[in-house]
Amino acid sequence: MKKLLKYTGLFLLGLIVFLGLYVLAGLGLGRMGTAEEANAKDDLFIYILTNGVHTDLVMPIKTDIIDWSQQVKFENTKSKRTDYNFIAIGWGDKGFYLDTPTWAELKFSTAFRAATGMSTAAIHTTYYRRMEEGDDCVKIGISNDQYQRLVNFIQKDFIKKSNGDLTHIATDAVYGDSDAFYDATGSYSLFTTCNSWTNRALKAAGQKASVWTPFDKGIFHQYQAAKMAAGSMYGW
């Protein structure tokens, strides 16, 4: 019995130390940034959106590069409306997306599978009619070449059917009338989170990003710091 208590105590201590180091690494590396590509034109604008925990990339539905509605079908939303102007795309754990509508309903099994990379992934898409900059939404200018790379990054993580269509997940666990879920490649884990996916997408598109971050705060720090620096430069 004493040995069991000893090993249990050591395990819990190790777990606490690991989680502490994880948080410190996430916060520290999140504040360390990678530079955006120089001399890129602002051919169009995209957004980074957060709900305080999870980040999405928001893009215009139709450009010369891609019409997202041809792949992410309007008909897969509850509203089936076609008058939207923007699409938000985020990657994450399928169990969290579909089985955890609120934090109060989070199951240990879902959290354990997500933390350890034992579950599957999904992509969540949401249509919007308009976007507004704010503390939870950052607007980014991006060149056509950079946007093409961003599109390529996102598209490779959709699981496609043999005919090339995206694999829509038919579920009632949507968040509203304008969103839908699709099967995605990869597995969520403590080291591969929804926010680290967004961060990698920004790097692929030559934008400011964190060295590594599992949290939304790391990504937003890069753009808040740049905004403050610009304000200081111009005496704002």
d(CA 127, CA 111): 28
Q: What is the pLDDT of residue 167?
A: 98
| Domain residue ranges in the chain | 40-233
Q: What is the pLDDT of residue 204?
A: 98
Q: What is the pLDDT of residue 224?
A: 84
Q: How many other CB atoms sit within 10 Å of the CB of residue 21?
A: 10
The conformation of residue 7, written as its DSSP 8-state character, comes to H
Q: What is the pLDDT along the chain (236 residues), one digit of tens a residue?
A: 666 666 666 667 676 876 888 788 898 999 999 999 999 999 999 999 999 989 999 999 999 999 999 999 999 999 999 999 999 999 999 998 988 766 667 677 777 787 788 889 999 999 999 999 999 999 999 999 999 999 999 999 999 999 999 999 999 999 999 999 999 999 999 999 999 999 999 999 999 999 999 999 999 999 986 665 554 433 44
pTM for this predicted structure: 0.90
Structure tokens at 222: 């890069």
Q: How many residues does the chain have?
A: 236
**Which whole-number Å values give the CA distances from 131 to 53, 81, 86, 111, 139, in the listed order?**
19, 17, 8, 32, 9
Q: Which of 84, 90, 91 is nearest to 131 (CA)?
A: 84
Characterise 159 by phi-psi region: left (phi > 0), alpha (psi -120 to 50), beta (else): beta
Q: What is the pLDDT of residue 3?
A: 64
Burial class (CB within 10 angstroms; exposed 0-12, middle 13-18, buried 19+) of 103: exposed
Element (H, E) at 74: none
Q: What is the pLDDT of residue 236?
A: 42
DSSP for 130-182, please give it.
----BTTEEEEEE-HHHHHHHHHHHHTTB-B-TTS-B-EE--S--SSSSEEEE
The residues facing 168 across adjacent strands are 182
- Tens-place pLDDT, residues 73-99: 999 999 999 999 999 999 999 998 988
Q: What is the pLDDT of residue 227?
A: 63
- Tens-place pLDDT, residues 31-77: 999 999 999 999 999 999 999 989 999 999 999 999 999 999 999 99
Q: What is the pLDDT of residue 232?
A: 41
Coil, helix or strand at residue 5: helix
